[in-house]
Chain A
Amino acid sequence: MNDLLALYRAQFRTTIAEQLQYRGGLAIWTIGLVLEPVIYLAVWSTVARSQGGAVAGFGAADFAAYFLVALVVNQATFTWIMWEMEYWIRQGHLSPLLLRPVHPIHRQIAVNLTFKLLTLTVVVPAALILGVVFRPNFAGIEPWTALAFIPALVLAIALRFAIEWTLALAAFWITRVTAVNQLYYVAFLFLSGQAVPLLLLPGPVKAAAEWLPFYRTLGFPVELLLGRLSPQDAAVGIVAQVGWLAVMVVLLNAVWARGIRQYSAVGA
Protein backbone atom coordinates (compact mmCIF):
# COMPACT_ATOMS: atom_id res chain seq x y z
CA MET A 1 0.00 0.00 0.00
CA ASN A 2 2.82 2.35 0.92
CA ASP A 3 4.55 1.35 -2.27
CA LEU A 4 1.48 2.25 -4.22
CA LEU A 5 1.29 5.65 -2.54
CA ALA A 6 4.90 6.28 -3.37
CA LEU A 7 4.21 5.31 -6.95
CA TYR A 8 1.32 7.72 -7.15
CA ARG A 9 3.41 10.50 -5.68
CA ALA A 10 6.23 9.89 -8.14
CA GLN A 11 3.83 9.71 -11.05
CA PHE A 12 2.21 12.90 -9.86
CA ARG A 13 5.49 14.75 -9.95
CA THR A 14 6.57 13.52 -13.40
CA THR A 15 3.17 14.21 -14.90
CA ILE A 16 3.14 17.76 -13.59
CA ALA A 17 6.61 18.38 -14.94
CA GLU A 18 5.65 16.80 -18.25
CA GLN A 19 2.45 18.77 -18.66
CA LEU A 20 4.10 22.05 -17.77
CA GLN A 21 6.35 21.41 -20.74
CA TYR A 22 3.30 21.34 -22.97
CA ARG A 23 1.44 24.39 -21.78
CA GLY A 24 0.44 25.21 -25.33
CA GLY A 25 -1.18 21.81 -25.71
CA LEU A 26 -3.03 22.33 -22.46
CA ALA A 27 -4.41 25.66 -23.61
CA ILE A 28 -5.62 24.22 -26.89
CA TRP A 29 -7.20 21.30 -25.10
CA THR A 30 -9.02 23.74 -22.83
CA ILE A 31 -10.47 25.58 -25.83
CA GLY A 32 -12.00 22.35 -27.11
CA LEU A 33 -13.27 21.33 -23.70
CA VAL A 34 -14.96 24.67 -23.09
CA LEU A 35 -16.24 25.23 -26.60
CA GLU A 36 -18.16 21.96 -26.80
CA PRO A 37 -20.70 22.66 -24.03
CA VAL A 38 -20.98 26.25 -25.27
CA ILE A 39 -22.07 24.94 -28.67
CA TYR A 40 -24.77 22.71 -27.14
CA LEU A 41 -25.81 25.52 -24.86
CA ALA A 42 -26.17 27.92 -27.78
CA VAL A 43 -28.20 25.41 -29.78
CA TRP A 44 -30.58 24.60 -26.94
CA SER A 45 -30.96 28.19 -25.78
CA THR A 46 -31.94 29.08 -29.33
CA VAL A 47 -34.48 26.24 -29.36
CA ALA A 48 -35.86 27.39 -25.99
CA ARG A 49 -36.22 30.95 -27.27
CA SER A 50 -38.01 29.81 -30.41
CA GLN A 51 -40.42 27.81 -28.25
CA GLY A 52 -41.43 30.80 -26.19
CA GLY A 53 -38.66 30.68 -23.61
CA ALA A 54 -38.57 27.05 -22.47
CA VAL A 55 -38.45 23.56 -23.92
CA ALA A 56 -39.44 20.59 -21.75
CA GLY A 57 -39.18 22.82 -18.72
CA PHE A 58 -35.67 24.06 -19.60
CA GLY A 59 -35.25 27.79 -20.05
CA ALA A 60 -32.03 29.38 -21.36
CA ALA A 61 -30.76 29.87 -17.80
CA ASP A 62 -31.51 26.23 -16.96
CA PHE A 63 -29.59 25.06 -20.00
CA ALA A 64 -26.74 27.33 -18.97
CA ALA A 65 -26.68 25.75 -15.51
CA TYR A 66 -26.91 22.26 -16.96
CA PHE A 67 -24.10 22.62 -19.49
CA LEU A 68 -21.84 24.51 -17.10
CA VAL A 69 -22.04 21.77 -14.49
CA ALA A 70 -21.73 19.21 -17.29
CA LEU A 71 -18.50 20.92 -18.33
CA VAL A 72 -17.04 20.46 -14.86
CA VAL A 73 -18.30 16.87 -14.50
CA ASN A 74 -17.03 15.95 -17.94
CA GLN A 75 -13.67 17.44 -17.11
CA ALA A 76 -13.54 15.35 -13.94
CA THR A 77 -14.62 12.08 -15.55
CA PHE A 78 -13.16 11.98 -19.05
CA THR A 79 -10.26 9.70 -19.91
CA TRP A 80 -8.06 9.32 -22.96
CA ILE A 81 -7.15 5.70 -22.31
CA MET A 82 -8.89 4.41 -25.43
CA TRP A 83 -6.46 6.31 -27.63
CA GLU A 84 -3.47 5.72 -25.40
CA MET A 85 -4.02 1.99 -25.08
CA GLU A 86 -3.94 1.55 -28.83
CA TYR A 87 -0.71 3.48 -28.96
CA TRP A 88 0.79 1.42 -26.14
CA ILE A 89 -0.10 -1.84 -27.79
CA ARG A 90 0.90 -0.86 -31.35
CA GLN A 91 4.18 0.71 -30.34
CA GLY A 92 5.05 -1.98 -27.86
CA HIS A 93 5.04 0.39 -24.90
CA LEU A 94 2.81 -1.98 -22.98
CA SER A 95 5.45 -4.68 -22.64
CA PRO A 96 7.77 -2.76 -20.30
CA LEU A 97 4.75 -1.69 -18.26
CA LEU A 98 3.75 -5.31 -17.85
CA LEU A 99 7.21 -6.12 -16.52
CA ARG A 100 6.79 -3.75 -13.63
CA PRO A 101 5.64 -5.21 -10.34
CA VAL A 102 2.48 -3.07 -10.29
CA HIS A 103 -0.58 -3.21 -12.49
CA PRO A 104 -0.35 -0.62 -15.32
CA ILE A 105 -3.77 0.70 -14.34
CA HIS A 106 -2.21 2.41 -11.32
CA ARG A 107 0.08 4.42 -13.48
CA GLN A 108 -2.87 5.41 -15.60
CA ILE A 109 -5.00 6.38 -12.62
CA ALA A 110 -2.18 8.46 -11.20
CA VAL A 111 -1.54 10.25 -14.48
CA ASN A 112 -5.25 10.82 -14.96
CA LEU A 113 -5.76 12.31 -11.51
CA THR A 114 -2.72 14.52 -11.86
CA PHE A 115 -3.85 15.78 -15.21
CA LYS A 116 -7.28 16.55 -13.78
CA LEU A 117 -5.82 18.51 -10.89
CA LEU A 118 -3.67 20.44 -13.28
CA THR A 119 -6.47 21.22 -15.73
CA LEU A 120 -8.74 22.24 -12.89
CA THR A 121 -6.66 25.40 -12.75
CA VAL A 122 -7.87 26.37 -16.22
CA VAL A 123 -11.29 24.76 -16.21
CA VAL A 124 -12.57 26.43 -13.05
CA PRO A 125 -11.77 29.96 -14.22
CA ALA A 126 -13.23 29.13 -17.62
CA ALA A 127 -16.43 27.85 -15.98
CA LEU A 128 -16.62 30.98 -13.81
CA ILE A 129 -16.28 33.27 -16.81
CA LEU A 130 -18.93 31.32 -18.69
CA GLY A 131 -21.08 31.56 -15.56
CA VAL A 132 -20.89 35.34 -15.72
CA VAL A 133 -21.57 35.38 -19.47
CA PHE A 134 -24.51 32.97 -19.56
CA ARG A 135 -26.24 33.77 -16.23
CA PRO A 136 -27.14 30.23 -15.26
CA ASN A 137 -30.02 29.42 -12.97
CA PHE A 138 -28.61 27.59 -9.94
CA ALA A 139 -31.75 28.00 -7.85
CA GLY A 140 -32.29 24.24 -7.66
CA ILE A 141 -29.10 23.55 -5.74
CA GLU A 142 -29.80 22.64 -2.11
CA PRO A 143 -27.51 21.54 0.70
CA TRP A 144 -28.51 17.89 0.30
CA THR A 145 -27.98 17.92 -3.48
CA ALA A 146 -24.57 19.49 -3.06
CA LEU A 147 -23.68 16.85 -0.47
CA ALA A 148 -25.01 13.93 -2.52
CA PHE A 149 -23.16 15.33 -5.56
CA ILE A 150 -19.80 14.49 -4.01
CA PRO A 151 -20.18 10.69 -3.84
CA ALA A 152 -22.06 10.76 -7.15
CA LEU A 153 -19.15 12.54 -8.82
CA VAL A 154 -16.54 10.20 -7.32
CA LEU A 155 -18.55 7.20 -8.46
CA ALA A 156 -19.00 8.76 -11.88
CA ILE A 157 -15.23 9.19 -12.23
CA ALA A 158 -14.61 5.57 -11.22
CA LEU A 159 -17.37 4.21 -13.42
CA ARG A 160 -16.36 6.08 -16.57
CA PHE A 161 -12.76 5.10 -15.99
CA ALA A 162 -13.75 1.43 -15.69
CA ILE A 163 -15.97 1.56 -18.80
CA GLU A 164 -13.38 3.24 -20.96
CA TRP A 165 -10.56 1.01 -19.71
CA THR A 166 -12.60 -2.03 -20.63
CA LEU A 167 -13.39 -0.65 -24.08
CA ALA A 168 -9.79 0.39 -24.58
CA LEU A 169 -8.82 -3.26 -24.28
CA ALA A 170 -10.50 -3.84 -27.62
CA ALA A 171 -7.13 -2.78 -29.01
CA PHE A 172 -5.81 -6.22 -28.03
CA TRP A 173 -8.02 -7.78 -30.70
CA ILE A 174 -8.78 -5.02 -33.19
CA THR A 175 -6.03 -3.26 -35.11
CA ARG A 176 -7.87 -0.07 -35.87
CA VAL A 177 -9.83 0.97 -32.83
CA THR A 178 -10.41 4.55 -33.93
CA ALA A 179 -13.80 3.68 -35.40
CA VAL A 180 -14.77 1.79 -32.24
CA ASN A 181 -13.71 4.74 -30.13
CA GLN A 182 -15.66 7.12 -32.28
CA LEU A 183 -18.75 4.97 -32.16
CA TYR A 184 -18.50 4.90 -28.40
CA TYR A 185 -17.94 8.65 -28.36
CA VAL A 186 -21.11 9.32 -30.35
CA ALA A 187 -23.17 6.92 -28.24
CA PHE A 188 -21.80 8.59 -25.13
CA LEU A 189 -22.55 12.04 -26.51
CA PHE A 190 -26.26 11.38 -26.75
CA LEU A 191 -26.86 8.74 -24.06
CA SER A 192 -24.86 10.37 -21.27
CA GLY A 193 -26.55 13.74 -21.41
CA GLN A 194 -23.47 15.47 -22.78
CA ALA A 195 -25.05 16.92 -25.91
CA VAL A 196 -28.56 17.18 -24.64
CA PRO A 197 -30.29 16.65 -21.27
CA LEU A 198 -31.91 13.20 -21.21
CA LEU A 199 -35.27 14.83 -20.70
CA LEU A 200 -35.22 16.13 -24.27
CA LEU A 201 -34.52 12.76 -25.88
CA PRO A 202 -37.40 10.92 -27.56
CA GLY A 203 -39.22 8.66 -25.04
CA PRO A 204 -37.80 5.21 -25.84
CA VAL A 205 -34.25 6.54 -26.24
CA LYS A 206 -34.58 8.30 -22.91
CA ALA A 207 -35.75 5.10 -21.21
CA ALA A 208 -32.86 3.14 -22.69
CA ALA A 209 -30.38 5.83 -21.70
CA GLU A 210 -31.55 5.67 -18.10
CA TRP A 211 -30.83 1.96 -17.97
CA LEU A 212 -27.41 2.22 -19.62
CA PRO A 213 -24.32 3.16 -17.58
CA PHE A 214 -23.31 6.28 -19.58
CA TYR A 215 -25.90 8.55 -18.04
CA ARG A 216 -24.61 7.63 -14.59
CA THR A 217 -21.19 9.05 -15.45
CA LEU A 218 -22.33 12.49 -16.56
CA GLY A 219 -25.96 13.50 -16.76
CA PHE A 220 -26.90 11.96 -13.45
CA PRO A 221 -24.48 13.88 -11.20
CA VAL A 222 -25.32 17.09 -13.09
CA GLU A 223 -29.05 16.72 -12.62
CA LEU A 224 -28.54 15.63 -9.02
CA LEU A 225 -26.60 18.77 -8.14
CA LEU A 226 -29.05 21.06 -9.92
CA GLY A 227 -31.93 19.63 -7.88
CA ARG A 228 -33.65 18.09 -10.88
CA LEU A 229 -33.94 14.71 -9.18
CA SER A 230 -36.03 13.64 -6.23
CA PRO A 231 -34.20 12.17 -3.23
CA GLN A 232 -35.51 8.74 -4.25
CA ASP A 233 -34.17 9.13 -7.83
CA ALA A 234 -30.87 10.29 -6.39
CA ALA A 235 -30.65 7.23 -4.15
CA VAL A 236 -31.58 4.90 -7.02
CA GLY A 237 -28.98 6.59 -9.16
CA ILE A 238 -26.20 6.14 -6.64
CA VAL A 239 -27.14 2.50 -6.21
CA ALA A 240 -27.09 2.14 -10.00
CA GLN A 241 -23.64 3.72 -10.09
CA VAL A 242 -22.33 1.26 -7.49
CA GLY A 243 -23.95 -1.66 -9.32
CA TRP A 244 -22.54 -0.66 -12.69
CA LEU A 245 -19.13 -0.05 -11.17
CA ALA A 246 -19.10 -3.55 -9.70
CA VAL A 247 -20.11 -5.04 -13.04
CA MET A 248 -17.50 -3.04 -14.95
CA VAL A 249 -14.69 -3.90 -12.55
CA VAL A 250 -15.43 -7.61 -12.89
CA LEU A 251 -15.65 -7.23 -16.65
CA LEU A 252 -12.47 -5.21 -16.78
CA ASN A 253 -10.54 -7.87 -14.92
CA ALA A 254 -11.87 -10.66 -17.09
CA VAL A 255 -11.16 -8.84 -20.36
CA TRP A 256 -7.74 -7.72 -19.17
CA ALA A 257 -6.75 -11.29 -18.29
CA ARG A 258 -7.84 -12.57 -21.71
CA GLY A 259 -6.27 -9.63 -23.49
CA ILE A 260 -2.92 -10.15 -21.83
CA ARG A 261 -3.01 -13.81 -22.82
CA GLN A 262 -3.72 -12.79 -26.39
CA TYR A 263 -1.01 -10.13 -26.28
CA SER A 264 1.69 -12.48 -25.04
CA ALA A 265 0.56 -15.19 -27.45
CA VAL A 266 1.19 -12.84 -30.36
CA GLY A 267 4.57 -12.18 -28.79
CA ALA A 268 4.61 -8.42 -29.08
Chain B
Amino acid sequence: MRTLRLLWVHLRLGALNELQYRGNLVAQMLQSLISLAASLLGLGIVFSKTDALGGWGPYELLAILGVYFLVGGISQLVVQPSLSRFMEDIRLGAFDFTLTKPVDAQMLASIKQIEVWKLVDVAIGAGVLGVALAGLGEGVGPARAAAFGLTLLAGVAIVYSFLLLLATCAFWFVRVDNILVIFQSMYEAGRWPIGIYPPWLRLSLTFLVPIGFAITVPASGLVGRLSGDTLALAVALGVALPLVARWFWRRGLRRYSGASA
Protein backbone atom coordinates (compact mmCIF):
# COMPACT_ATOMS: atom_id res chain seq x y z
CA MET B 1 0.00 0.00 0.00
CA ARG B 2 2.76 2.33 1.05
CA THR B 3 4.68 1.25 -2.01
CA LEU B 4 1.83 2.17 -4.33
CA ARG B 5 1.38 5.50 -2.61
CA LEU B 6 5.08 6.31 -2.95
CA LEU B 7 5.09 5.15 -6.55
CA TRP B 8 2.12 7.36 -7.24
CA VAL B 9 3.80 10.41 -5.67
CA HIS B 10 6.92 9.79 -7.71
CA LEU B 11 4.89 9.43 -10.87
CA ARG B 12 2.88 12.55 -10.18
CA LEU B 13 5.94 14.61 -9.35
CA GLY B 14 7.77 13.29 -12.38
CA ALA B 15 4.82 14.17 -14.58
CA LEU B 16 4.36 17.63 -13.08
CA ASN B 17 8.00 18.30 -13.45
CA GLU B 18 8.20 17.04 -17.00
CA LEU B 19 5.18 19.03 -18.05
CA GLN B 20 7.47 22.05 -17.99
CA TYR B 21 9.35 20.53 -20.88
CA ARG B 22 6.68 19.54 -23.31
CA GLY B 23 9.36 19.22 -25.96
CA ASN B 24 10.47 16.05 -24.22
CA LEU B 25 7.06 14.50 -24.75
CA VAL B 26 7.18 15.27 -28.46
CA ALA B 27 10.72 13.93 -28.68
CA GLN B 28 9.77 10.74 -26.85
CA MET B 29 6.69 10.21 -28.99
CA LEU B 30 8.75 10.72 -32.10
CA GLN B 31 11.36 8.26 -30.90
CA SER B 32 8.83 5.63 -29.90
CA LEU B 33 6.98 6.00 -33.17
CA ILE B 34 10.18 5.73 -35.19
CA SER B 35 11.07 2.60 -33.24
CA LEU B 36 7.59 1.22 -33.88
CA ALA B 37 7.86 2.10 -37.56
CA ALA B 38 11.21 0.32 -37.81
CA SER B 39 9.71 -2.80 -36.26
CA LEU B 40 6.69 -2.71 -38.54
CA LEU B 41 8.93 -2.18 -41.57
CA GLY B 42 11.00 -5.16 -40.54
CA LEU B 43 7.87 -7.27 -40.12
CA GLY B 44 6.60 -6.03 -43.48
CA ILE B 45 9.76 -7.02 -45.29
CA VAL B 46 9.86 -10.41 -43.59
CA PHE B 47 6.24 -11.18 -44.38
CA SER B 48 6.68 -10.07 -47.98
CA LYS B 49 8.88 -13.15 -48.30
CA THR B 50 7.09 -15.65 -46.09
CA ASP B 51 3.72 -16.36 -44.42
CA ALA B 52 5.00 -17.42 -41.06
CA LEU B 53 8.22 -16.92 -39.11
CA GLY B 54 9.09 -19.99 -37.08
CA GLY B 55 5.39 -20.81 -37.02
CA TRP B 56 4.31 -17.30 -35.96
CA GLY B 57 1.89 -15.48 -38.24
CA PRO B 58 1.91 -11.71 -38.82
CA TYR B 59 -0.61 -10.86 -36.08
CA GLU B 60 1.04 -13.20 -33.66
CA LEU B 61 4.33 -11.42 -34.24
CA LEU B 62 2.46 -8.16 -33.72
CA ALA B 63 1.43 -9.49 -30.31
CA ILE B 64 5.10 -10.07 -29.53
CA LEU B 65 5.88 -6.53 -30.61
CA GLY B 66 3.12 -5.26 -28.34
CA VAL B 67 4.52 -7.10 -25.34
CA TYR B 68 8.01 -5.91 -26.31
CA PHE B 69 6.87 -2.29 -26.05
CA LEU B 70 4.74 -2.88 -22.97
CA VAL B 71 7.34 -4.63 -20.84
CA GLY B 72 10.17 -2.46 -22.16
CA GLY B 73 8.09 0.61 -21.38
CA ILE B 74 7.39 -0.47 -17.81
CA SER B 75 11.02 -1.33 -17.28
CA GLN B 76 12.26 1.98 -18.67
CA LEU B 77 9.53 3.91 -16.93
CA VAL B 78 10.64 3.07 -13.43
CA VAL B 79 12.90 0.04 -12.97
CA GLN B 80 15.90 0.94 -15.09
CA PRO B 81 16.08 4.65 -14.23
CA SER B 82 15.67 3.91 -10.54
CA LEU B 83 18.30 1.20 -10.46
CA SER B 84 20.72 3.33 -12.47
CA ARG B 85 20.14 6.07 -9.99
CA PHE B 86 20.73 3.63 -7.15
CA MET B 87 24.11 2.64 -8.57
CA GLU B 88 25.01 6.27 -9.07
CA ASP B 89 23.96 6.99 -5.49
CA ILE B 90 26.19 4.22 -4.21
CA ARG B 91 29.10 5.67 -6.12
CA LEU B 92 28.50 9.19 -4.83
CA GLY B 93 27.55 8.13 -1.33
CA ALA B 94 24.01 9.49 -1.57
CA PHE B 95 22.59 6.02 -0.96
CA ASP B 96 23.14 6.67 2.74
CA PHE B 97 20.12 8.93 2.65
CA THR B 98 17.95 6.16 1.25
CA LEU B 99 19.00 4.03 4.19
CA THR B 100 18.03 6.64 6.76
CA LYS B 101 14.43 6.64 5.54
CA PRO B 102 11.80 4.73 7.51
CA VAL B 103 10.70 2.71 4.49
CA ASP B 104 12.12 -0.40 2.89
CA ALA B 105 15.35 0.55 1.12
CA GLN B 106 14.91 -1.91 -1.75
CA MET B 107 11.47 -0.55 -2.47
CA LEU B 108 12.63 3.06 -2.32
CA ALA B 109 15.65 2.37 -4.51
CA SER B 110 13.43 0.61 -7.04
CA ILE B 111 11.00 3.47 -7.59
CA LYS B 112 13.15 6.48 -6.91
CA GLN B 113 13.55 7.74 -10.45
CA ILE B 114 10.79 7.82 -13.03
CA GLU B 115 10.97 8.57 -16.73
CA VAL B 116 7.41 9.65 -17.21
CA TRP B 117 7.41 9.82 -21.00
CA LYS B 118 8.13 6.12 -21.23
CA LEU B 119 4.41 5.84 -20.62
CA VAL B 120 4.28 6.50 -24.36
CA ASP B 121 5.91 3.10 -24.91
CA VAL B 122 3.46 1.48 -22.52
CA ALA B 123 0.60 3.03 -24.46
CA ILE B 124 2.06 1.99 -27.81
CA GLY B 125 2.49 -1.53 -26.48
CA ALA B 126 -1.15 -1.66 -25.40
CA GLY B 127 -2.25 -0.25 -28.76
CA VAL B 128 -0.22 -2.75 -30.78
CA LEU B 129 -1.56 -5.57 -28.61
CA GLY B 130 -5.07 -4.34 -29.33
CA VAL B 131 -4.45 -4.33 -33.09
CA ALA B 132 -2.90 -7.79 -32.85
CA LEU B 133 -5.95 -9.11 -30.98
CA ALA B 134 -8.33 -7.57 -33.47
CA GLY B 135 -6.33 -9.10 -36.28
CA LEU B 136 -6.23 -12.53 -34.70
CA GLY B 137 -10.00 -12.42 -34.99
CA GLU B 138 -11.05 -15.22 -32.70
CA GLY B 139 -12.05 -13.86 -29.32
CA VAL B 140 -9.50 -14.32 -26.62
CA GLY B 141 -11.22 -16.45 -24.04
CA PRO B 142 -10.82 -16.08 -20.28
CA ALA B 143 -8.26 -18.90 -20.24
CA ARG B 144 -5.92 -17.11 -22.62
CA ALA B 145 -6.46 -13.77 -20.94
CA ALA B 146 -5.60 -15.35 -17.61
CA ALA B 147 -2.52 -17.04 -19.05
CA PHE B 148 -1.45 -13.72 -20.56
CA GLY B 149 -2.06 -11.76 -17.36
CA LEU B 150 -0.27 -14.32 -15.24
CA THR B 151 2.75 -14.66 -17.51
CA LEU B 152 2.97 -10.91 -18.05
CA LEU B 153 3.02 -10.35 -14.31
CA ALA B 154 5.61 -13.07 -13.93
CA GLY B 155 7.59 -11.56 -16.82
CA VAL B 156 7.68 -8.13 -15.23
CA ALA B 157 8.66 -9.67 -11.88
CA ILE B 158 11.43 -11.65 -13.59
CA VAL B 159 12.79 -8.62 -15.44
CA TYR B 160 12.68 -6.53 -12.30
CA SER B 161 14.43 -9.21 -10.25
CA PHE B 162 17.04 -9.73 -12.92
CA LEU B 163 17.82 -6.03 -13.10
CA LEU B 164 17.87 -5.79 -9.33
CA LEU B 165 20.33 -8.68 -9.17
CA LEU B 166 22.59 -6.85 -11.61
CA ALA B 167 22.26 -3.53 -9.82
CA THR B 168 22.92 -5.08 -6.41
CA CYS B 169 26.44 -5.89 -7.60
CA ALA B 170 27.11 -2.19 -7.02
CA PHE B 171 27.45 -3.01 -3.32
CA TRP B 172 30.59 -4.98 -4.15
CA PHE B 173 31.98 -3.32 -7.24
CA VAL B 174 31.86 0.40 -7.64
CA ARG B 175 32.30 0.60 -11.39
CA VAL B 176 29.27 -1.28 -12.69
CA ASP B 177 27.22 1.68 -13.82
CA ASN B 178 26.65 0.38 -17.33
CA ILE B 179 25.88 -3.18 -16.37
CA LEU B 180 22.19 -2.50 -17.02
CA VAL B 181 23.02 -1.61 -20.61
CA ILE B 182 23.67 -5.31 -21.21
CA PHE B 183 20.00 -5.91 -20.64
CA GLN B 184 18.96 -3.07 -22.91
CA SER B 185 21.11 -4.24 -25.79
CA MET B 186 19.91 -7.83 -25.41
CA TYR B 187 16.32 -6.73 -25.03
CA GLU B 188 16.36 -5.85 -28.75
CA ALA B 189 16.40 -9.57 -29.47
CA GLY B 190 12.95 -9.78 -27.90
CA ARG B 191 11.29 -8.15 -30.90
CA TRP B 192 11.28 -11.62 -32.43
CA PRO B 193 10.10 -14.93 -30.96
CA ILE B 194 13.13 -16.44 -29.27
CA GLY B 195 12.32 -19.78 -30.88
CA ILE B 196 13.98 -18.62 -34.10
CA TYR B 197 17.39 -18.21 -32.46
CA PRO B 198 20.03 -20.93 -32.43
CA PRO B 199 19.87 -23.05 -29.24
CA TRP B 200 22.82 -21.38 -27.44
CA LEU B 201 21.28 -17.95 -27.93
CA ARG B 202 17.78 -19.15 -27.09
CA LEU B 203 19.01 -20.63 -23.83
CA SER B 204 20.93 -17.45 -23.02
CA LEU B 205 17.85 -15.37 -23.72
CA THR B 206 15.79 -17.61 -21.50
CA PHE B 207 17.92 -18.29 -18.49
CA LEU B 208 20.91 -15.95 -18.64
CA VAL B 209 19.00 -12.81 -19.57
CA PRO B 210 15.34 -13.72 -19.11
CA ILE B 211 13.97 -11.91 -22.15
CA GLY B 212 12.08 -14.97 -23.34
CA PHE B 213 10.05 -15.01 -20.14
CA ALA B 214 9.43 -11.30 -20.40
CA ILE B 215 8.20 -11.19 -24.00
CA THR B 216 7.79 -14.45 -25.89
CA VAL B 217 6.07 -16.31 -23.07
CA PRO B 218 3.31 -13.75 -22.32
CA ALA B 219 2.75 -13.28 -26.06
CA SER B 220 2.46 -17.05 -26.42
CA GLY B 221 -0.12 -17.02 -23.66
CA LEU B 222 -2.14 -14.43 -25.51
CA VAL B 223 -2.12 -16.20 -28.86
CA GLY B 224 -2.74 -19.60 -27.29
CA ARG B 225 0.61 -21.19 -27.96
CA LEU B 226 1.62 -21.63 -24.36
CA SER B 227 2.23 -25.12 -22.97
CA GLY B 228 1.31 -25.93 -19.40
CA ASP B 229 4.94 -26.65 -18.55
CA THR B 230 6.14 -23.26 -19.74
CA LEU B 231 3.31 -21.55 -17.88
CA ALA B 232 4.23 -23.34 -14.67
CA LEU B 233 7.91 -22.56 -15.14
CA ALA B 234 7.21 -18.87 -15.79
CA VAL B 235 5.02 -18.57 -12.72
CA ALA B 236 7.53 -20.47 -10.58
CA LEU B 237 10.36 -18.20 -11.75
CA GLY B 238 8.16 -15.16 -11.29
CA VAL B 239 7.80 -16.11 -7.65
CA ALA B 240 11.29 -17.48 -7.00
CA LEU B 241 13.45 -14.86 -8.70
CA PRO B 242 12.10 -11.92 -6.67
CA LEU B 243 12.88 -13.91 -3.53
CA VAL B 244 16.40 -14.63 -4.73
CA ALA B 245 16.88 -10.98 -5.67
CA ARG B 246 15.61 -9.92 -2.28
CA TRP B 247 18.03 -12.26 -0.55
CA PHE B 248 20.91 -10.98 -2.65
CA TRP B 249 19.94 -7.38 -1.96
CA ARG B 250 19.97 -8.05 1.76
CA ARG B 251 23.41 -9.61 1.51
CA GLY B 252 24.57 -6.54 -0.38
CA LEU B 253 23.08 -4.26 2.21
CA ARG B 254 24.73 -6.23 4.99
CA ARG B 255 28.04 -5.80 3.24
CA TYR B 256 27.41 -2.11 2.68
CA SER B 257 26.75 -1.51 6.36
CA GLY B 258 29.68 -3.66 7.37
CA ALA B 259 27.58 -6.25 9.17
CA SER B 260 29.24 -9.12 7.35
CA ALA B 261 32.77 -7.80 7.75
Contact = CB atoms under 8 A, between A and B. Distances in A.
Do any CB atoms of chain A lie under 8 A from CB atoms of chain B in the complex? yes
A127 interface: no
B178 interface: yes
B188 interface: yes
A28 B181 contact: yes
B257 to A, nearest CB: 26
Interface string A30-71: 011001101100110111001100011000000000000000
Contacts of A35: 185-186, 188-189
A64 B39 CA distance: 22
B38 A186 contact: yes
A37 B192 CA distance: 13
A55 to B, nearest CB: 5
A56 B45 CA distance: 13
Contacts of B46: 43, 47
Contacts of A195: 42
Q: Is the interface of B mostly helix, strand, loop or mixed?
A: helix
Interface in B192-241: 192, 196-198, 200-201
B45 A175 contact: no
B31 A182 contact: yes
Nearest to A27: B182
Given A28-B178, A31-B186, A35-B189, A46 B53 contact: yes
Interface string A170-208: 000001101100110010011000011000111000000
B52 A50 contact: yes
A32 B197 contact: no
A267 interface: no
26 contacts: A24-B176, A24-B179, A28-B179, A28-B185, A31-B182, A32-B181, A32-B188, A36-B188, A42-B198, A45-B196, A46-B196, A47-B53, A133-B198, A133-B200, A175-B23, A176-B24, A178-B31, A182-B30, A183-B34, A186-B34, A186-B41, A189-B38, A190-B45, A196-B42, A200-B45, A201-B45
Interface of A: 24-25, 28, 31-32, 35-36, 38-39, 42-43, 45-47, 50-51, 55-56, 133-134, 175-176, 178-179, 182-183, 186, 189-190, 195-196, 200-202
